[in-house]
Amino acid sequence: MYNIAFKKVTKAFGETVVVNNMDFEVKEGERMILLGPSGCGKSTTLRIIAGLESITSGDLYMNGVRMNDIPCGRRGVSMVFQNYAIYPHMSVKENIIYGLKAAKMDRTEIGRRLKEVLSMLQLEPYADRKPRELSGGQRQRVALARAIVRRSNYFLLDEPLSNLDAQLRLHARKELVRIHEIYGQTMVYVTHDQVEAMTIGQRIALMHNGALAMLDTPQNVYDHPADVFCARFIGSPAMNIVRVVSVGSGICLGSNCINLPESWKKVVEKHRAKFYYAGIRPEHLSLTEEDGSGVIECDVVYCENYGGRCGISVKPRGSKEEMIVLSDGPEPKPGDGVRVRLDFTRLHLFDADSEKNLGDPVF
Ligand code: ADP
Ligand code: MG
């Protein structure tokens, strides 16, 4: 079983803890994403798997074997770094097959793998070029190709697509998933890009300050964020998070007080706090002409055109906070008064102190 199990793994540099008590498992053959903002400890976590970083406390198991003291070369990993290093004096082709030749692989097999990977990453025209004759994106693909041809049990990638332009990145994303489906390696993929995480990952480990904030499927991270941090990190434009006051039968945003449906009342009654953070995604708010439950009176601040849709920033009356409403209807003008309907089935309430999600009501 080529799985990876973190057992309370902590890594400190001197006094500074950068990976904090990580306890999770990457299943065999899974595409696991390590996602989080810059500096949260993603690369360090990946380097721990690769054996390039020692563990301060806790244990790492791969394939059931404790890895803490096993050197990188004996872990069966291939890795693509953020700052990939390819040999400047070798051609693209030579760079890609260097490791296979060093491992004395059969020449016809090397040829077969090289041909396949050149085509997969659209590198055929550059096979005989030197790295200095390539763009940054092309060099990054050479680094990817070099890791792919090895077909190791574990495939570790650290922001491998960051130097590609938008179109190539889209293509490479699809190709990576396809490659993974062919070879079925256990894959750990580091990125700070939530779109990349959602589209490539089978599960996402969302990291915050060196610790695991949430680990689940992309859909569950989007639908049921564990806390305000997770809620804000996934989705674009980001989820609206506004402070609300709890009143008897509902919640108030500024001077708008809205009645909560029975299912939500039960959640709030159980929790009994005065303030909450309400979270609602821009795509779950809509402009409406009607009055009624879940409708908030707002003023338009500005509109951002996304082409086909616009993000309308609005301020609920009596509130200082803004929310974004995603709309494909006609664009209102700044200063216009609008009614915004919120979808109670897509609402989240977070504890104002711990910022944890209160949990979904039963509708
Ligand atoms: P990420 O990949 O999520 O951006 P890193 O794992 O690279 O984050 O780094 C996490 C934290 O650890 C950062 O604050 C970084 O400055 C620190 N760090 C990384 N490597 C070292 C090191 N060798 N010595 C001291 N601090 C380090
Ligand atoms: Mg990093």
Q: Is residue 1 pLDDT above 90, yes or no?
A: no
Q: Single out the residue of 193, 196, 195, 217 nearest to residue 205, CA to CA.
A: 217
Q: In whole angstroms, what is the distance from residue 162 CA to residue 152 CA?
A: 23
**Ligand 2 center from residue 79 Cα (angstroms):** 13
Give the pLDDT score at 54.
98
Q: Per the structure block, which two tokens stand in for 287?
A: 């402009």
Question: Domains of the chain: which residue ranges?
Answer: 4-226, 233-351
Give the fold, CATH level 3, of 4-226. Rossmann fold (3.40.50)
**Ligand 2 center from residue 41 Cα (angstroms):** 7
Global confidence as pTM: 0.93
Average pLDDT value for residue range 60-68:
98
> Long-range contacts for 122-125 (Cβ within 8 Å, ≥24 apart)?
122/171, 123/92
Half-sphere exposure of 80 (CA within 13 A, CB side): 28
Q: Is residue 227 pLDDT above 80, yes or no?
A: yes
Give the fold, CATH level 3, of 233-351. OB fold (Dihydrolipoamide Acetyltransferase, E2P) (2.40.50)
Give me the DSSP letters along 23-78.
EEEEPTT-EEEEE-STTSSHHHHHHHHHTSS--SEEEEEETTEE-TT--GGGS-EE
Instruction: Looking at the CA of 35, name the nearest ligand.
Output: 1
Ligand 1 atom with least separation from CA of 207: 3
Instruction: Looking at the CA of 54, name the nearest ligand.
Output: 1
The residue contributing the CA closest to ligand 1 atom 24 is 13
Condensed to tens digits (0 to 9), the pLDDT of residues 119-177 reads 988 899 999 999 999 988 888 889 989 999 999 999 999 999 887 888 888 888 988 89
Residues in contact with ligand 1 by the CB-under-6-Å rule are 13, 18, 36, 38-44
Give the pLDDT score at 304.
94
Condensed to tens digits (0 to 9), the pLDDT of residues 168-217 reads 888 889 888 988 998 899 999 999 999 999 999 999 999 999 999 999 99
Give the pLDDT score at 347.
97
Ligand 1 atom with least separation from CA of 82: 2
Ligand 1 atom with least separation from CA of 159: 2
Q: Single out the residue of 56, 39, 55, 59 nearest to residue 47, CA to CA.
A: 55
Q: What is the DSSP letter of 133?
A: G
